[in-house]
Each structure stands twice: as C-alpha cells, then as structure tokens.
C-alpha cells in the first residue's frame, strides 16, 4: 500500500510538472510552416500505417502512450536511463515536438508522462496523423506527404506495398536509409519492415513474398502528379 501510495504521489507530481499537450496539433502546423516544403496530411493511408506500426509500435492500439510489455521485454524501468521505456509512437512524437536539443525536461520519465498525456488527449488516428506530418524521412523531406511525393512522385494514398514499406522503414535512421544515396541499406531496412508485417500477422508470408523489395520507382522530378 505504501509503495502504491508513493507511486501515485510521484505520478501525480510528474503529471502536474510536465506541460500540457493541448497545443500538439498547433505545434505540428508550426513545424510544417517552418519547413516550407512540408505538406500536412488529411489522414494516414492504411498500407503505410500498417507497415509503420508493425515496425515501430506493434501494440499502438493496445497501449496508452507507454508500452509496458515492451519495457519489460527490454529489461528497462520507467525511472531508468534517459533512453529507457518502450519507444512508442507517442514517445517519438513527443520528442520531435517538445524536446529539441538539450531541453531541461528531456529525460525519459518526462517523455513517458507526456506520451500518456498525448494518448489521453488525442485519438489514435490524430496521433498517427501528427506523427506522419512531423517525422523526418531523409533527403530534406519532412512529413509523409513530402516524402511520398519527393521520393516517389505519388501521393501517400497511392503507395504500393513496396513503396509503403520503404517509407515506413526510414524514420528510424533517415540519413542512413536514404534510398537515393544508400539504396542497399534502404532495401535491407525495407526487408526488415516486410518481415515485421509477417511476424505481427499483418500480412501472410505468401503475400509478403509478393512485395518486391527495391521496386520503388524513385522519381527524378520530385512532386506529385496525377
């Protein structure tokens, strides 16, 4: 009982001391405005969402900003090192929007608490859209719309499975996996995404084998065309 009481007090204090996330959607718009080429999404297409979640946060729809199971599997605690805790989309989004550089609240506990706030304030579809709009895909492309049009010359809702799995793998290390400058590494990362789709049951093995790695059709004239 004492331990639970202490945890409750600590959690309440952390909740009170961390800022509100009510401005998250506006922050997305402000970041897009700063990056003149960034384009905002109306929604996140199913193929990209499925590939992204399989790779980055397979329990996205089952957690509330903190992936406890992922933390346990990693042998990490909430109050551990600065990088501890399950790397949920909520946490990644919080880092991109609120913790630029050496922010005074850049520790893992603060990020986790804000991730919970984000999950309780916005719907899952809103969180996905915000993530897609602010994440960096490499080669100067910020946001899914910008990356899809810039790399592939098609809007996100027209992505093939090969193209969607390529883009879903880029956020982890966008410069390393840049398909225009490091196609071999990009293809290797894409294969990891395909394997995760099978592992999570999002695609059957047979359907996954029909996705042609590196069949991206990269454009030499960035931009979306009808």
| CATH, residue 58 | 1.10.3810.10
pTM: 0.84
**Which two tokens mark 197?**
């789709």
Q: What is the pLDDT of residue 121?
A: 93
User: How many percent of the chain have pLDDT more than 90?
Assistant: 52
Q: Is 88 left (phi over 0), alpha (psi -120 to 50) or beta?
A: beta
Q: Are 56 and 87 contacting, i.e. CB atoms less than 8 angstroms apart? A: yes
Query: CA–CA separation, 189 vs 83, rounded Å?
Result: 22
> Residue 160 contacts by C-beta under 8 Å, 6 or more apart in sequence?
47, 215
192 or 221: which carries more pLDDT confidence?
Answer: 192
Q: Quick one: pLDDT band at residue 86, thresholds 50, 70, 90?
A: low
The answer to whether the CB of 38 falls within 8 A of the CB of 31 is yes
Query: What total of structural domains would you count in the chain?
Result: 1
User: Residue 104 is part of which domain span?
Assistant: 2-209
By residue count, the chain amounts to 226
Residue 110 within a domain: yes
Write down the pLDDT at residue 222.
75
Specify if 161 maps to a domain: yes
Q: How many helices (H) and strands (E) does the chain have?
A: 11, 0
What is the C-alpha separation between 164 and 190, in angstroms, rounded? Answer: 9
Question: In the predicted model, what is the mean pLDDT of the chain?
Answer: 82
In a domain, 136, yes or no: yes
Cβ atoms of residues 57 and 89 within 8 Å = yes
Residue at 220 is within a domain: no
DSSP for 56-89, written as a single string: H-TTTTTSSS--HHHHHHTT--TTSSTT-S---H
Confirm whether 224 is domain-assigned: no
Kindly state whether residue 17 falls inside one of the protein's structural domains. Answer: yes
């Amino acid at each position: 009982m004492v331990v639970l009481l202490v945890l409750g007090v600590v959690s309440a204090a952390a909740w009170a001391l961390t800022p509100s996330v009510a401005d998250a959607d506006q922050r997305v718009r402000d970041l897009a405005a700063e990056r003149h080429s960034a384009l905002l999404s109306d929604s996140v297409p199913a193929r990209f969402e499925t590939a992204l979640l399989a790779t980055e946060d397979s329990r996205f729809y089952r957690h509330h900003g903190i992936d406890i199971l992922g933390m346990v599997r990693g042998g990490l605690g909430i109050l551990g090192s600065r990088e501890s805790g399950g790397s949920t989309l909520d946490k990644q989004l919080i880092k991109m929007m609120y913790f630029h550089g050496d922010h005074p609240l850049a520790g893992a506990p603060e990020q986790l608490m804000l991730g919970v706030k984000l999950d309780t304030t916005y719907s899952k579809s809103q969180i996905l859209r915000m993530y897609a709009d602010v994440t960096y895909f490499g080669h100067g492309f910020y946001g899914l719309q910008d990356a899809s049009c810039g790399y592939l010359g098609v809007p996100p809702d027209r992505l093939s499975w090969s193209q969607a799995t390529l883009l879903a793998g880029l956020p982890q290390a966008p410069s390393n996996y840049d398909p225009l400058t490091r196609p071999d590494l990009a293809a290797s990362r894409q294969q990891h995404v395909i394997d995760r789709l099978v592992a999570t049951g999002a695609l059957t093995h047979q359907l996954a084998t029909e996705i042609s790695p590196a069949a991206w059709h990269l454009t030499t004239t960035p931009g979306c065309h009808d």
